[in-house]
Chain A
Amino acid sequence: MSWSDYLAILRRRWWIVAVVVILDVLASGLLFYRSYHHAGWQGTVTLYVADVGATNTTLETTDQLLAGETAADFFADDIKDVAQSAAVASYVSSRLQRHGLPSSAPADISGSVGGVRTDRTVNLWITNRSATTALAAAQALGQAMSTARAKFIGARMARRTYVRVISPATVGPAPTSHDLVNFALRVVLGIVVAIGLALLWDVLDPTVRDRDDVETSLGKPVLVVSR
């Protein structure tokens, strides 16, 4: 089949493509709208993590230095992971609810915490519908993972680590770029599915559709196309 044959099929089955694409755009748009409006605000806090044991070494050799850095990296990873736990969410929620902040129930906090480690720096963020709550939650999150970290990682591990808030909590609109990308991907995927569905529908249709179909099946020319 040539490109013109595929185009002819799409022209013939345009309604399948149209229906699927319209439904796809509506569904993707609804998801984008909900995502955009639910994204709300994002509070961010940055922590510095170090291995306390490393400071006690003489760091005379490269191996010792690397061992200390590696341990700090592991600890920073732990801090990032623990910050996203339900226990931390519950702690943050209890701190916020004391002040009667909106959207501060454990269910609002749990699952809204994210983080990324770069070397020994951990960037934590928390999203919330309320900007005030997002900022207060980021502050509480920083406190939970620095001064109160023994509650979550145990006193022994807390003693081995050094955690300090190096960038105070800030708040800003939650990023939505990923949602836009998702929206675009969903629409593109929907168009691909629509085209595939139209082609499949055409293949499965056993009846003649055009002059070519008749001429191919009968082996004779179509003399007249009557409407």
Chain B
Amino acid sequence: MPDARSILLAWPTAGDARPSGGAGSGLASSLAEAYRSAGIEAALLSLPAESDLLLTVDELGKELSGNRLTVVEGSGLLDSPNTVLAARAVDAVVVLARRGHTRRSDLVASRRELTGAGAPVVGAVLIA
């Protein structure tokens, strides 16, 4: 992802993210911090998961505009329409999966959602 200016990190479902500080939680903020430590201006954008806060691609485009690199922290791809919308607007989407927790069927469904949305999926991060 050398040219990506915006990266979305998203789990297949919100339940895959471990909320209480285990490995993999806060990965987006850690990535943004790592960029900043390397001298790259980076911002962190957390997407609202609730459907009544549905974003438009244009609204998200404004958030992502500018020269800074933006790490977008998505929610569940299968739970949150916002995350799928964001996947269309970013330069790269990285799907997160947790070993022994994330279901293969959810990954397949996420792949279908992302492909249908034309999202630029570059790969996955497997949290052991």
Contact = CB atoms under 8 A, between A and B. Distances in A.
Contacts of B125: 222-226
Interface in B80-105: 94-95, 97-105
A220 B104 contact: no
A216 B104 CA distance: 9
Contacts of B122: 220, 223
Given A207-B99, A207-B103, 13 more contacts: A207-B100, A207-B101, A208-B97, A208-B98, A208-B102, A216-B104, A217-B105, A218-B95, A218-B124, A221-B124, A222-B124, A224-B125, A227-B23
Interface-centre pick from B24, B104, B110, B127 (highest chain A CB count, 10 A): B104
Given A207-B100, A207-B103, A210-B99, A220 B23 contact: no
B124 A215 contact: yes
Contacts of B98: 208
Contact of B111 (A219, A224, A226, A227): A219
Interface of B: 23-24, 27, 94-95, 97-105, 107-108, 110-111, 121-128
Contacts of A221: 123-124
Given A218-B111, A223-B94, A209 B99 contact: yes
A210 B24 CA distance: 16
Contacts of B105: 206, 217
Interface residues of A, number: 21
Interface of A: 206-211, 213-227
Contacts of B94: 223
Contacts of B23: 226-227
A219 B114 CA distance: 11
Contacts of B103: 206-208
28 contacts: A206-B103, A206-B104, A207-B99, A207-B100, A207-B103, A208-B98, A208-B103, A208-B126, A214-B124, A215-B124, A217-B107, A217-B108, A217-B111, A218-B95, A218-B107, A218-B111, A218-B121, A219-B111, A220-B122, A221-B123, A221-B124, A222-B124, A223-B123, A223-B125, A225-B125, A226-B24, A226-B127, A227-B127
Nearest to A221: B123
Contacts of B97: 208, 214, 218
Contact of A220 (B27, B101, B124): B124
A223 B121 CA distance: 11
A23 to B, nearest CB: 24
A224 B123 CA distance: 9
A209 B104 CA distance: 9
